[in-house]
Amino acid sequence: MKIVEDWGSTYGDAINHYWRFEDFSEDDGKNIFFLGLSTSTSEFKEKYKNYENKMFFNTEHPCAFYDTDRKIIARSANLDGYYSKIFTQDPYSAAWLNELQGRDTFTLLYPTPINKKYIVEKKQQKEYDVLYWGGIHSQVHVDILDAMKDFKYNFLSLGPAHWGIQHMPTANLMTHQNAPREEMWHLIRKTKINVMANLLFLNPAHVSRIKKIKGWEKNEAFSHLDLGILPQIKSRPFESAVNRCLMLVKRNPWNIIEYWFEPDKEFVYYDNEEDLPEIINGILSNWEHYENIIDNAFEKAINNYTIDHFMEIVKGECI
């Protein structure tokens, strides 16, 4: 299987740049696996059109469906039928597109395979209570930071230039801006709790664009579109698990994290940001109980969600 990898559409130190899928590339002349949005352009498609079995790792669902460029939406939905198989982290869009197209092209696969090279087996001494890692795109994120600020916390982000809203008081809480990935992993290993929402927050223009797609209402990911939210699973759960940091996850209408991790065994839910200070206090006061949950998540990740395991699944689709 030949592997074509191009992460030019991501920011410079995104986890994609640490995967090194090209190490698995062995051209058999029949099977090809594309990784990175850049590889879905007409230039790449024309270059590799003679491969019989073309596979693609789509990490853009469901975000692609509110893009201003209709060509990107069409590429993400495989409207030209170029790909034989598309792996996606979005179970709802996969089921929706398969039904609409009458095919079995889209299949669920975990979004963040772990490169074993970067796994640290030895437990680290915890120095921090809690962290939030990401942008400020909603009041939920503002409230998370407000709940954390009286603890020994860290706030990791690319910075306000990447946020959907400007909130300078929140920006003043930022402790690390655009930290290198390995530095960030080191910090996560020294932190007890990572708070995350696993939601994508939309503005009215995003909602309007999605509603222009025929049959949009049949996609379960769009079931709460009028509230301006979509389910989104990114790298945070997987990077938290492999770096032994407790996942404290906001419960939501989808709870997409449960496709990969089990609640109360490998992560913990919270419901309201106003309860977060009390919940964080409770976890810190009973830390011995939660260490087992961290260990369970670590074992799940290193035994099921590595690059090697990922590639075994992809190779299973080869002809």
pLDDT digits (tens, 9 = 90+) for 70-107: 889 999 999 999 999 999 999 999 999 999 999 999 99
Report the alpha-carbon distance of residue 292 to residue 59 in Å, rounded: 31
Give the CATH class of 116-198+233-304: alpha beta
Size of the chain in residues:
319
DSSP letter, residue 126: -
pLDDT at site 216: 97
Mean pLDDT calculated for residue range 236-241: 97
DSSP string, 177-209: ES--HHHHHHHHHTEEEEEE--EEE--HHHHHH
Confidence (pLDDT) at 168: 63
What pTM, to 2 d.p., does this model score?
Answer: 0.95
Q: How high is the pLDDT of residue 82?
A: 97
Give pLDDT, residue 164: 64
Element (H, E) at 47: helix 42-47
What is the phi/psi pair of residue 273, to 5°?
Answer: -65, -30
pLDDT in tens, 143-191: 999 999 999 999 999 888 777 665 667 888 999 999 999 999 999 999 9
Q: CA–CA distance from 171 to each of 14, 68, 220, 273 (Å)?
A: 21, 28, 34, 19
What pLDDT, on a 0 to 100 scale, did the predictor assign at position 68?
93
Q: Which amino acid is at 277?
A: P
Closest by alpha carbon to 193, among 126, 274, 271? 126
* Averaged pLDDT score across all residues of the chain: 94
Burial of 288 (0-12, 13-18, 19+ CB in 10 A): exposed
- The sign of the torsion formed by the CA atoms of 245, 248, 310, 39 equals negative
| pLDDT tens per residue, range 195-219 | 999 999 999 999 999 999 999 999 9
C-beta separation of 30 from 53 below 8 A: yes
The pLDDT assigned to 171 comes to 85
